[in-house]
Amino acid sequence: MTTDRERIRSLDDPEVMVQTPATIYDAVPPLTPRTEREAEFYQLEDGEMFLNLGPQHPSTHGVLRVVMKIDGERIVDIDPVMGYLHRGVEKICEHGDWHHAISNTDPLEYAASMFSESLPVLSAERLLDLEVPRRAEYIRVLAWELNRISSHALFIGWLALDLGGLTPILYGFGERDEIVEMLAALTGQKLLFNYMRIGGVNGDLNHEFLSRLGDWMSRAGDRIDDQTSLMNENEIFVNRTKGLGVVDREMALRMNMSGPPLRATGVPYDVRRAHPYSVYPELEFDIPTRTDGDSYARYLLHIDEIKQSIRIIDQVLHEMPDGPVMAKLPRLLRIPPNRAFAALESPRGQYAAYAVSDGSDQPFRFRIHDPSFFNLQAVAPLSKGEVLADIMAIMASLDPIMGGIDK
């Protein structure tokens, strides 16, 4: 028999008594903290509460949960919770051959997949000490820079959209769509291109691609100026990003940040210059930097980089040599035992991989270094003391892509 004291009212219908132990409402002891940081974060002071942002929030693209400790509208602390996109890509690459790794890494940087799919390619070429045909190297640079521009154009639109501005995202998608159609003519794909190959690229330039590229290049500068003037002259946008989410040089270096978030602090680090690869040493371009380190500086830096990418593309088109686009390799590729580190400059920073070969046709170990993982660490210190409405502006200015973070 169950006594009345052991019966409680149903949460669905207060008139219904359910046979549940009365201790159901006793306080549940917290889980044992795994770190000192976790123990400190999950202690609430008077007036504080927890609020979850995501993973279903539209501004986190459905793949990131941010636990916010807030006091009213002010953010006290933040704890990003990652892993919603984890697929075990590194282990998947280790259970397929070197060629399969190209398509397996494609989705990691899904806004600029030319870069993530290049990691196993560059790693294998270093392990083999392989010389890639020069025309293929020029085509690679052309594809990389076009993909960088499309990613940056989308970033500018996303940043404005997270602050309530609709028109810039239409400009951003318009620019990206034109470049994606261009790359589709070259690769046959619009999102996950699967174009890079160990020893070269999957096909030479064709007439449709060159025709679209020439048309786009004739007005690219003016279109970028139109999109950015829309935001640079908007007082609300400028006021909401200037002085927000400031990263200083010391913090950026301590957190191993790279890409635009690092260069916005005045550090001129770019893999294309610091550790030259492909034909970048033969091309003239600047490494833009800013010194304010805030969200507005990161936004301006993306614009500067788009202009430098257009400058690089113009040189590539004028200097590209004739010749083959693939080196001669056996169909079954067995790489001698060795290890190598390969890195390239993606739209979000230093994208790198550490690869180990054991002499078989499969990578023995393939470890991926994603720049968004390191840049996202800055969200917590940058958000402390800010208001809830500004958290998305801070996160958007860091431009994280969760595919590579969760892997």
* DSSP sequence for 349-401: EEEEEEEEE-SSSSEEEEEEE-HHHHHGGGHHHHHTT-BGGGHHHHHHHH---
Q: Output the pLDDT for position 27.
A: 34
Give the number of other CB atoms < 10 A from CB of residue 117: 24
Whether 10 maps to a domain, the answer reads no
Q: Output the pLDDT for position 377.
A: 84
Give the residue ranges of DSSP H helices in 234-294.
235-241, 249-254, 260-263, 271-274
Alpha-carbon gap, residue 405 to 35, rounded angstroms: 21
Q: 203: domain range?
A: 89-406
DSSP 44-83: --TT-EEEEE-SS-GGGTTS-EEEEEEETTEEEEEEEE--
Whether 66 maps to a domain, the answer reads no
Domain containing residue 302: CATH number: 1.10.645.10
Q: Output the pLDDT for position 61.
A: 61
Q: Output the pLDDT for position 308.
A: 93
Structural domains in the chain (count):
1
Whether 44 maps to a domain, the answer reads no
Burial 144-174 (b: 16+ CB within 10 A, else e): bbbbbbbbbbbbbbbbbbbbebeebbebbbe
Whether 42 maps to a domain, the answer reads no
Query: Contact at 8 Å (CB) between 337 and 127?
Result: no
Q: Output the pLDDT for position 359.
A: 87
DSSP-derived secondary structure letter, 340:
E
Please choose, from the candidates 223, 261, 277, 268, the residue with its C-alpha nearest in 3D space to the C-alpha of residue 115.
Answer: 277
pTM of the model: 0.84
Whether 127 maps to a domain, the answer reads yes
Q: Output the pLDDT for position 17.
A: 57
Give the residue ranges of DSSP H helices in 188-244.
207-217, 220-232, 235-241
Whether 149 maps to a domain, the answer reads yes
Alpha-carbon gap, residue 291 to 222, rounded angstroms: 26
Q: Output the pLDDT for position 143.
A: 93
Alpha-carbon gap, residue 336 to 130, rounded angstroms: 12
Whether 68 maps to a domain, the answer reads no
Q: Output the pLDDT for position 15.
A: 57
Whether 234 maps to a domain, the answer reads yes
Q: Output the pLDDT for position 189.
A: 86
Q: Output the pLDDT for position 57.
A: 66
CB contact set of 112 (below 8 Å; sequence gap of 6+): 147, 148, 150, 151, 346, 347, 348, 401
Q: Output the pLDDT for position 25.
A: 37
Ordered mean pLDDT values, 10 residues apiece, the chain (407 residues): 48 52 41 73 80 72 78 86 83 88 86 90 91 93 93 86 81 86 89 89 90 87 80 85 87 89 91 91 92 89 92 92 89 89 92 90 90 86 85 84 79
Query: Contact at 8 Å (CB) between 357 and 344?
Result: no
Helix (H, G, I), strand (E, B) or coil at 196: strand
